[in-house]
Amino acid sequence: MEILKGAELCFPKLLNTSCRKPTLHWSKAVLLNIVLSCVSLITAALNLLVIISVSHFRQLHTPTNILLLSLAVSDFLVGLLLMPFEIFRNMDCWVLGDLMCSVSWYLTGNIAYASTGNIVLISVDRYVAICHPLHYSTRITMARVKLSVCLCWFFAIFYSSLYMKDVLIKPGRYNSCYGECVFVINDIAGIIDIVLSFFVPVTIIIVLYMRIFVVAVSQARAMRSHVTAVTLQRSLNQTSKSELKAARTLGVLVVVFLVCYCPFYCFAFGVEDMANNPSTFFVVFILYFNSCLNPLIFALFYPWFRNAVKLIITLQIFKHETSEANILL
């Protein structure tokens, strides 16, 4: 954030080593804090509803929903931890110490990488369901999906630890003054990270959904022209309308993900000093806002989510055997 002349020091006793307080007009600062804090709270609350829904109702214990549950967990952590950290880091002096600064950056990388991995897994799930429907039940099993989710989170943790080992070993090493919390990497490491954490996953996602789109269009044309070839009939019978609808819904999820993530990575690729650029805060928050939009997409396209939310907010889930309720109506 911009620091005005004459701004107060974060730590007045440390005259020569203290950062200056980020200074905005009080009305702008209050408005920004209120809006962004509300977004953070709404993000955490909506994703918590998704987590409770998929976890509680046994009818929702499907491979695809397990992937959505994993995505909701990462989005919930974005709203609960990452958004407040980002607001605090940019709207005021960092007074939580160097260790918490390092932890906040580590969690940021970890959760962001896990979110991207979850989107890739969702794309793979829809690819198999639409393009190889006859093999879906044997290839995409609950055991394999749970293992994939665990591996996704493990690699996110491992990659974050490797990528941020310097700041974890020596907290605060990149801070130029007390009251600052920044993370700096060299150009080569930054380019490698952008390629591995964004361009490679996005390429996989786009290729898979292009294939899904081609297959879905061919099936729709076959239905309209009443093609009766035996092999095509079998494929059409196996690929139900619900699968195609799920593919469209999750396609919207993927598009929203790309729209929210692309500005950040394009900005990171084109800007030399992100730490001191006032636009960084807003680009990062656009990325985080994706976590708020995901449950809204579920509410818009999934009747089961709306039905589950009604049972949750009316506290009916505490009644006996509500976990067996039919909410797919």
pLDDT one-digit tens code per residue, 174-218: 888 888 888 888 878 888 888 999 999 999 999 998 888 888 777
3-class SS of residue 206: helix
Residue 218 inside a domain? The answer is: yes
| 178, β-bridge pairs | 18
As to burial, measured by CB atoms within 10 angstroms (0-12 exposed, 13-18 middle, 19+ buried), residue 104 is buried
The whole model's pTM is what?
0.87
pLDDT at 115 over 90: yes
Torsion of CA 308, 309, 313, 316, to 10 degrees: -10
pLDDT tens digit sequence for 209-268: 888 888 877 766 666 565 444 444 554 444 556 666 666 777 888 889 989 998 888 888
Please give the tally of structural domains in the chain: 1
Does residue 255 contact residue 210 with C-beta atoms inside 8 Å? no
| Selection from 157, 78, 144 nearest residue 117 by Cα | 157
Give me the helices (H) in 226-327, please.
230-238, 241-270, 280-301, 303-313
Residue 8: inside a domain: no
At 83 the pLDDT is 93
Is 146 domain-assigned?
yes
The verdict on residue 4 lying in a domain is no
Place of tokens 């999820």: 253
User: Does the pLDDT of residue 146 top 90, yes or no?
Assistant: yes
In a domain? residue 91: yes
Q: Is residue 94 part of a domain?
A: yes
Residue 230 has what pLDDT? 47
What pLDDT is recorded for position 69?
96
- Boundaries of domain holding 41: 26-324
pLDDT confidence of 74, banded at 50, 70, 90? very high
Q: Is 191 exposed, middle or buried (0-12, 13-18, 19+ CB in 10 A)?
A: middle
Closest by Cα among 207, 226, 219 to 243: 219
Q: Does residue 33 contact residue 91 with C-beta atoms inside 8 Å?
A: yes
Does residue 216 contact residue 240 with C-beta atoms inside 8 Å?
no
CATH number at residue 184: 1.20.1070.10
Q: What percent of the chain has pLDDT over 90?
A: 42
